[in-house]
Amino acid sequence: MKKQIIVFSFLFLFLSCAKKEKIETFPFDDFVFAGEALHSVFCIKFTKSDTVYYQRIFPKPIATSYAVINLEEKIKLSRLLRETNFEKFDTIYANQTVEDAQAYLINISNQGKRKSIYLYAREAPKELDRFIKSLGEIKKRLHFVPTNKRVDFGDLKSILPPPPPPMPVRNIN
């Protein structure tokens, strides 16, 4: 009986010390990616949890949904975010001579610090272009489910279309 206890103890100790895969945590508190084109406006929010939020802003009605990201996708996303040094990028990349072009907005929040990067008319460094394409691939693999939950996507003013002009007021005499 003593030999069995010793063998099991040794086996337990050996298995406990086996190298475990290190899963790095999500590098930001919030990461919001928004896109705007001629016929659509959307935003997607990644957080430290396994929930990803998506909101279609245009065409109306506004619709919010969520997806649960699996461990493999979360590891890919975390690696992608860690490998991209957002601090080195400017806050605006825009070609003002182009009208009605596609625009993107990246909003990052981490430990009270915020960074925004606005991209318009394909005026972005190649590294950011690759990053945006990778986010699109991750988004395509997620299955979003509608929700009524109110989600704060942060400041999206630079990507949202301007409000329509006010209706003319007619005087009744």
Mean pLDDT score, 17-26:
57
Which residue(s) pair with 66 in the sheet?
A: 53, 145
Q: In the chain, which residue ranges form alpha helices assigned H by DSSP?
A: 2-16, 71-83, 126-141
Integer Cα distance of 97 and 90 in angstroms: 19
pLDDT over 70 at 160, yes or no: no
Q: Establish if 9 belongs to a structural domain.
A: no
Can you give the pLDDT at residue 64? Answer: 96
Largest separation between any pair of C-alpha atoms in the chain? 105
CA–centroid distance for 82 within its chain: 13
Can you give the pLDDT at residue 94? Answer: 86
Task: Tell me which amino acid residue 118 is.
Answer: Y
Q: Establish if 83 belongs to a structural domain.
A: yes
User: Which pTM was predicted?
Assistant: 0.76
Q: At what angle do helices 126-141 and 71-83 cross, to 10 degrees?
A: 170
Number of helices and strands in the chain (H, E) = 3, 8
Q: Which domain holds residue 116?
A: 22-146
Q: Establish if 118 belongs to a structural domain.
A: yes
Domain count, the chain: 1
Please answer whether residues 44 and 66 qualify as being in contact, where contact means their C-beta atoms are separated by less than 8 angstroms: no
Q: Establish if 2 belongs to a structural domain.
A: no
Tokens of residue 98, six digits: 């182009």
Range with lowest mean pLDDT among 103-107, 118-122, 124-128, 165-169:
165-169
Give Rg (Cα) of the chain.
23
Sign of CA dihedral 117, 120, 124, 127: positive
Strands 103-110 and 63-68: unpaired
Please answer whether residues 119 and 103 qualify as being in contact, where contact means their C-beta atoms are separated by less than 8 angstroms: yes
Q: Establish if 65 belongs to a structural domain.
A: yes
Q: Establish if 74 belongs to a structural domain.
A: yes
Q: Establish if 119 belongs to a structural domain.
A: yes
Q: Establish if 90 belongs to a structural domain.
A: yes
Can you give the pLDDT at residue 6? Answer: 54
CATH number at residue 119: 3.30.1560.10
